[in-house]
């Protein structure tokens, strides 16, 4: 009797895992397919016509890690209000130094993703609490822990408020310049949360506001936490949590070109799979806007591929926990 109950429990868990994996996969098929669970069967309903326009709103999330709130700009894709589908989320970090409203300054991110035909929720959080702030998305103290604020407080807030895919293969963490550094330093330490991590013209160790000097944060531990992972530990983590790791830099980026080349070599030597490109151009919005659609689509498609791989392997359940 006990064995029969155990077998029934295992089958039920596998069914639930399959349903959630199908929800994730359906979300990548244009964002309009809806998965409905029934007793003993799972059925994917036909795609629905998009009847609602994209919508951009400002939200404020409670953040214990910041001892207050974390504002964010959220863009809901076309069709969100007229469907019951769940959507992947692209979390996008802005550059630094910045001010308390800089998170409102990169509207091209959501529009570039929409141009690809993929539909996801785009979340752009605040990364500066005061004018001309350069906190490097680091953990400074119990009241200003940016990694926890972004990877936990913000993610939980979005999952609670919107119809998101509640798994790592429904989340990408991307950023430009200092935001690219933040995305890598946070995302590569939280692979159970994010299934794709990208840096656009970023760097790989905390720097001064000019980007010319590596910061000394006062202790070996703090300095180590401010260096993006790149060695055997990262290789083992990616082995457990397959992840898109992608980054690019401009060929005329005098500050960060060599650092990007070095990081590419470090990942290659460590056996960490990744994508790296050097494009004509400098450290500018012209470069980022020119390649935004390509790299957003790359992240989106990688999440969908990982969701399908989990479903095929029968391991959908392990990817459902953050």
Q: Please provide the DSSP assignment of 71-115 as one string.
A: EEEEEEPTTSTT----B-EEEEEPPSSB-TTGGGS-THHHHHHHH
Residue 235 clears pLDDT 60, i.e. is over it: yes
pLDDT confidence band for 223 (50 / 70 / 90): very high
Lowest-confidence range among 12-16, 22-26, 177-181, 311-315? 12-16
* C-alpha pair distances (Å), 198 with each of 186, 203, 246, 262, 292: 11, 11, 5, 16, 11
pLDDT confidence band for 307 (50 / 70 / 90): confident
> Residue 309 has what pLDDT?
78
> Residue 50 has what pLDDT?
52
Compute the distance between CA of residue 167 and CA of residue 165 in angstroms, rounded to an integer.
Answer: 6
> Residue 24 has what pLDDT?
56
Residue 49 clears pLDDT 60, i.e. is over it: no
pLDDT confidence band for 322 (50 / 70 / 90): very low
* C-alpha pair distances (Å), 96 with each of 105, 132, 186, 309: 12, 8, 16, 36
> Residue 312 has what pLDDT?
74
Compute the distance between CA of residue 157 and CA of residue 29 in angstroms, rounded to an integer.
Answer: 25
pTM of the model: 0.84
Compute the distance between CA of residue 270 and CA of residue 268 in angstroms, rounded to an integer.
Answer: 5
> Residue 27 has what pLDDT?
57
In angstroms and rounded to an integer, the radius of gyration of the C-alpha atoms of the chain is 20
> Residue 26 has what pLDDT?
55
* Alpha helices (H) in the chain, listed in sequence order: 2-28, 108-115, 146-148, 155-161, 178-187, 220-225, 232-240, 257-270, 285-313
Q: Classify residue 321 as left (phi > 0), alpha (psi -120 to 50) or beta.
A: beta
Any bridge partners for residue 74, and if so which?
57, 123
**pLDDT average, residue stretch 199-204:** 98
**pLDDT average, residue stretch 246-259:** 98
Any bridge partners for residue 228, and if so which?
none
Domain ranges of the chain: 50-304
pLDDT confidence band for 231 (50 / 70 / 90): very high
**pLDDT average, residue stretch 192-219:** 96
**pLDDT average, residue stretch 24-48:** 40
Q: Which range, 20-24, 153-157, 207-211, has the best average confidence (pLDDT)?
A: 153-157
Compute the distance between CA of residue 181 and CA of residue 204 in angstroms, rounded to an integer.
Answer: 6
Residue 232 clears pLDDT 70, i.e. is over it: yes
CA angle 183-112-128, nearest 5°? Answer: 40
Compute the distance between CA of residue 265 and CA of residue 250 in angstroms, rounded to an integer.
Answer: 17
Which of helix, strand or coil describes residue 41? strand
pLDDT tens-digit map of 113-127: 999 999 999 999 999
**pLDDT average, residue stretch 64-93:** 97
CATH fold of 50-304, please? Rossmann fold (3.40.50)
DSSP-assigned letters across all residues of 127-152: --SSTTB--TT-EEETTEEHHHIIII
Residue 257 clears pLDDT 70, i.e. is over it: yes
> Residue 310 has what pLDDT?
73
CA angle 71-74-76, nearest 5°? Answer: 160
- 165 Cβ neighbours under 8 A, 6+ residues apart: 23, 24, 27, 86, 87, 88, 89, 171
pLDDT tens-digit map of 290-304: 999 999 999 999 999
């Amino acid at each position: 009797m006990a064995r029969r109950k155990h077998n029934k429990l295992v089958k039920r868990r596998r069914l639930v895992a399959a349903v959630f994996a199908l929800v994730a996969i359906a979300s990548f098929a244009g964002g309009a397919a809806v998965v409905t669970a029934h007793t003993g069967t799972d059925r994917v309903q036909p795609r629905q016509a998009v009847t609602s326009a994209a919508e951009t709103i400002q939200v404020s999330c409670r953040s214990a890690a910041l001892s207050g709130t974390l504002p964010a700009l959220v863009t809901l894709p076309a069709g969100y209000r007229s469907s019951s589908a769940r959507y992947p989320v692209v979390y996008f970090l802005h550059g630094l130094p910045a001010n308390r409203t800089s998170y409102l300054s990169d509207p091209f991110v959501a529009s570039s993703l929409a141009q690809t035909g993929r539909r996801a929720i785009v979340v752009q959080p605040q990364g500066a609490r005061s004018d001309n702030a350069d906190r490097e998305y680091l953990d400074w103290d119990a009241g200003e822990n940016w990694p926890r604020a972004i990877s936990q407080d913000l993610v939980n807030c979005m999952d609670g408020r919107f119809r998101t895919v509640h798994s790592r293969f429904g989340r990408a963490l991307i950023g430009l310049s200092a935001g690219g550094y933040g995305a890598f330093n946070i995302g590569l330490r939280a692979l159970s949360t994010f299934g794709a991590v990208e840096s656009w013209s970023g760097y790989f160790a905390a720097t001064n506001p000019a980007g010319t000097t590596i910061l000394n944060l006062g202790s070996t531990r703090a300095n180590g936490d401010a260096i993006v992972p790149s060695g055997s530990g990262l290789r083992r983590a990616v082995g457990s949590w397959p992840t898109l790791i992608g980054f690019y830099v401009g060929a005329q980026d005098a500050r960060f070109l060599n650092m990007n080349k070095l990081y590419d070599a470090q990942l290659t030597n460590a056996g960490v799979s990744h994508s790296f490109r050097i494009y004509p151009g400098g450290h500018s919005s012209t470069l980022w806007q020119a390649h935004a659609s390509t790299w957003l689509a790359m992240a989106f498609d990688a999440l969908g591929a990982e969701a399908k791989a989990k479903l095929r392997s029968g391991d959908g359940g392990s990817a459902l926990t953050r």
